[in-house]
Amino acid sequence: MADMDEEMSENNFPLQQDLTCPVCQGIFTDPVLLPCSHSFCRECLQRSWNFSKRCPVCREPCEEAQAISNLALRNASESFLRQNNRRPAQALTGDLVCNLHLKPLELYCEKDEEPLCVECVALHNTHKLWPTKEGTAICKNELGYKVQIFEKKVDSYKKMVKKFTNAVGYVKHQAGEAERTIKAEFERLRQVLYAEETRRLDELATEERDKINNIEGLIEETKAGIVKLKEFIDCLKKEMGNEDLSLLQNFHDLKKKTQWTERDPDFLSDSLLNMGKHVGGLSYNIWKDMKAHVKYYPVLLDPNSASPWLSLTPDLTSVKESSERMTVPENRERFDPCVFVLGSDGYASGKHKWDIIIGDNPKWILGVCKESVIRKKKFTLSSSRGVWAIGLSKGVYSAFTSERTEIAVPQCPERIRIKLNIEKGEVSFWDGGREKHLVTLTHKFEERLFPIFGPGLYPTPMVLAPGKIALHTS
């Protein structure tokens, strides 16, 4: 400030005092006026209000809304600065002194986490204060702790980058598997269509040949009739050229000789091709015949939910234990460590039915579960956990209710049928081979439900049974 004072003329010094903020001791910047008639830089006043809602000079209570812009003082301050080519003193003081008291920052407030001068102690008399050196050590310790946390996060993020990178490779693997399956299925269907096309073309060629042979036979018969008729004509014309008495003598024999008894040529019935059979509704008939070569499954498995210890067939209709843990992404949908897999589609309404062939598997679990069922840790199966299922373990059939209930099953079923009626809040289990009801579980379902399959760690596969295909026309 001394250098600046030397640059000031003595005539300007009183004016400088009038234009100096009592808080920052610099020329006013955006000054505001309080009801007590004192003016301050707007920023200085706001900083002061962080500690006390009083005027920094006379200590009169005041509210923020009472401070109004002092336009005349602002214009005078800006004119003074322009005239003397100076910046506000506040910009020159920097951050090394207290903005409120312009005293060195020698203390640190642990609660407010800011440096203070000795004059600020009264404003922080209930706070714990430290010398700046010790305050710096406290801050460094805390920041060092944050550094450790962030370094651990960096390591965690690097691991996630590796997992995401592996997931990219897995998605490419999935795409390759799907492409091969799609191509194989389309090739199979193309072969079926080609065989169907060949059969239909053979039938068409056979009928064409038969129809043409029949018509050509009629042509030959008709041509033979023409030859015979011409012979009659020539004979009659010749006799008609004889003398009258000779014509009269031969008339009776000639008439009898040239009598025509043959049937006149005409098309036989069904002489033409049966176009309705060959091309009528062709696409529908082909599609209908394809039914024998297509299987429909009410439920398919979701490989993205399958435990790493389960192996699924490419068509997603069978699951069994994997001989080793599969290398798969740790996505949120996947069960791990529990050994389950879900159906690919969930149900929020309606009636649904599907059969599962369990064969002689000694341990299994089947049923439905809510979409939010636990995936990443072990849990007890029960309706209270959002799973409505039955299972076999150690020769005992059980329903997984809140308290596990044993089911009396006279004959071991090889096929389990599950019927889900969401509106009625029922999921029932049947011996699908014998059409025998096993048990029905009830609940007011309020969340989307998914079929759940637990084949156990056994090599016997759990196979989804295809449903019946029915065509309805009207």
Length of the chain (residues): 474
Per-residue confidence (pLDDT) for residue 62, from 0 to 100: 86
Interatomic CA distance for residues 43 and 56, integer angstroms: 13
Interatomic CA distance for residues 356 and 416, integer angstroms: 5
In 3D space, the residue among 365, 381, 370 whose CA is nearest the CA of residue 422 turns out to be 370
Interatomic CA distance for residues 399 and 389, integer angstroms: 6
The dotted CATH code for 2-93 is 3.30.40.10
The string of pLDDT tens digits covering residues 360-372 is 899 999 999 999 9
The dotted CATH code for 303-464 is 2.60.120.920
Residues of the chain with pLDDT under 50: 1-10, 86-95
368 contacts 375 by C-beta, under 8 angstroms: no
> SS3 of 220, please?
helix
Residue 345, by phi and psi: left (phi above 0), alpha (psi -120 to 50) or beta? beta
Instruction: Evaluate if pTM is beyond 0.85.
Output: no
Q: Write out the H or E segment, with its range, that includes residue 207.
A: helix 132-240
The string of pLDDT tens digits covering residues 248-295 is 888 888 888 888 888 899 988 889 999 999 999 999 899 888 888 899
Q: Which two tokens stand for residue 459?
A: 């090599």
Which residue(s) pair with 449 in the sheet?
A: 347, 370
Q: For the chain, which residues make up each domain, given as ranges?
A: 2-93, 135-293, 303-464
Per-residue confidence (pLDDT) for residue 195, from 0 to 100: 94
452 contacts 470 by C-beta, under 8 angstroms: no
Per-residue confidence (pLDDT) for residue 12, from 0 to 100: 58
Q: Which two tokens stand for residue 87?
A: 């910046």
Cis geometry, peptide bond prior to residue 337 (ω within 30 degrees of 0): yes
**DSSP result, 320-365:** EE-SS-------TTS--SS--EEBSS-BSSSEEEEEEE-TT-SSEE
Which phi and psi angles does 69 have, rounded to 5°? -65, 135
